[in-house]
Amino acid sequence: MAKTAAGYRCTECGWRTLKWVGRCGECQAWGTVDEEGAAKGVRVVQGGATSAPAIPIGQVKADVAIARTTGIGELDRVLGGGMVPGAVVLLAGEPGIGKSTLLLEAAAKLAERETVLYVTGEESSSQVRLRADRIGAIRDRLFLAAETELAALVSHVEKVQPRFLVVDSVQTIGTSQATGVPGGVTQVREVAANLVRLAKERDMSTVIVGHVTKEGSIAGPRTLEHLVDVVLNFEGDRHSRLRLVRAVKNRFGPTDEVGCFDLHERGIEGISDPTGLFVSHRSKPVPGTCVTVTVEGTRPLPAEVQALVARTEAQQPRRTSAGLDPYRVQLILAVLERRLNARLGGSDVFTATVGGIKLTDPAIDLAVMLAVASAAGDKALPAGLIALGEVGLAGELRPVRDVRRRLTEASRLGFTRALVPKGSLEEGGRRGAPGRQRTLVPVGPTQFAPGFEVVEAENVWDALTHVT
């Protein structure tokens, strides 16, 4: 068997090198590369005892994995119906966004019918008790422990025998069985692996809190996402009461659902009908705004896109986006300049969403384009208009999914006109006259609210001609 030379290993991420360096080449941490000695070859593993014999899949009991409601409807929506026994959920978000408040609220509701253990490593027991008093989360079956050692956490689990475990947060829990400091990649991986094993052995639903680093990753570079069953992102503006929980990974449900919450001084509560939260309410239309309807899971949400175009003397104009994909916005700006001859080279372009929502749906492309065109021309779009459609590089408009559901929601909210790509409502439209006007196909208003008009456009030129 070949023998490899001795080397050095990063205690944070496991990166290896043949010579010592002061900075890790993988995680870029300083002073974490130590000598590990000669590496050993691969050993053959012999068969051992099994925990249970293999059985046909049809004989496996499926009722054990039935989701149990958390008592918070919006959280159940994102989870796919509730918490599954033995499932491990990672709730990620920036510090101070409200993760602990949401989990304490859910733990209190679950403690009404089963035993819950809440382990905090960031706060003292008295601090958590004060928050529980404020939001009304005092329950007899809700147990609280302040620990930063994994062995002590396991002892609490063995003594309390909970059906639901909350660990807040994984960066504060450490173990002597791993190198590094608590919060490091090696420690986080070891702690998370032990928590996953504990949850599976006891069929105990577990929620792990993970803070988002400055680089935007959860508790390190993709350390936890592969170990857990569900990954939830907790989003929101600190200066706003609105909070969003979005599923990034879910082995038991959809990954495109979003839950809306209102964070206030008495706690946090779900918003079952978030209609109107992401749209400005004004008496007259203003330039640089356009309303669209995005779909988050099974829920259509009206959202407003705003744009500001300002002349600048700088050689490199700024392109700033908030709540939108900046690369997608740059693509739309390039289509505007090339296909519609818009002159944006000497102007700063700022785009944003209302209410702090992050929009990634391709159906918002047309709304972004119309908002920028409206801001550049300083001319407001018609009142009561919504725009749906994906913009291609050739300037064509591509149909998007769930158009009827989006338009039904728009007509219910009082919008009177919709601009959609050609072919979105083929069964309800009729062909126009030959020539360019053939691409603008009015759809009968009987499908939606009375007076609601749907117009289909083939490309961005037709769409802009219609609204101007």
d(CA 391, CA 368): 10
Q: What pLDDT score does 437 carry?
A: 41
Cis omega (within 30 of 0) on the bond before 272? no
DSSP 8-state symbol, 83: B
Copy the structure tokens of residue 112. 């009404």
Listed as own residue / partner, the contacts of 34-41 with beta carbons closer than 8 Å and 24 or more positions apart are 34/8, 34/9, 35/6, 35/7, 35/8, 35/9, 36/6, 36/7, 36/8, 36/9, 37/6, 38/3, 38/4, 38/5, 38/6, 39/4, 39/6, 39/7, 41/1, 41/2, 41/3, 41/4
* Mean pLDDT by groups of 10 residues along the chain of 468 residues: 61 82 82 66 75 85 82 91 93 88 94 95 93 93 95 96 94 87 84 94 93 61 79 83 88 86 87 82 88 88 94 92 94 93 92 89 95 94 94 93 90 91 66 40 55 90 86
Cα 360 vs. chain centroid, distance in angstroms? 10
Contact between 6 and 35 under an 8 Å Cβ cutoff? The reply is yes
Listed as own residue / partner, the contacts of 123-126 with beta carbons closer than 8 Å and 24 or more positions apart are 123/168
Neighbours of 208 (CB within 10 A): 26
Averaged confidence pLDDT in the chain: 85
Contact between 307 and 351 under an 8 Å Cβ cutoff? The reply is yes
Q: What's the sign of the alpha-carbon dihedral 393, 394, 397, 399?
A: negative
Q: What pLDDT score does 199 carry?
A: 95
Q: What pLDDT score does 65 carry?
A: 74
Most distant CA atoms of the chain, gap in Å:
81
Contact between 261 and 270 under an 8 Å Cβ cutoff? The reply is yes
d(CA 359, CA 322): 10
* pTM exceeds cut of 0.85: no
Torsion (CA) 12, 16, 21, 25 in degrees, nearest 10: -70
pLDDT in tens, 274-317: 877 888 877 788 999 999 999 887 788 999 999 999 999 888 99
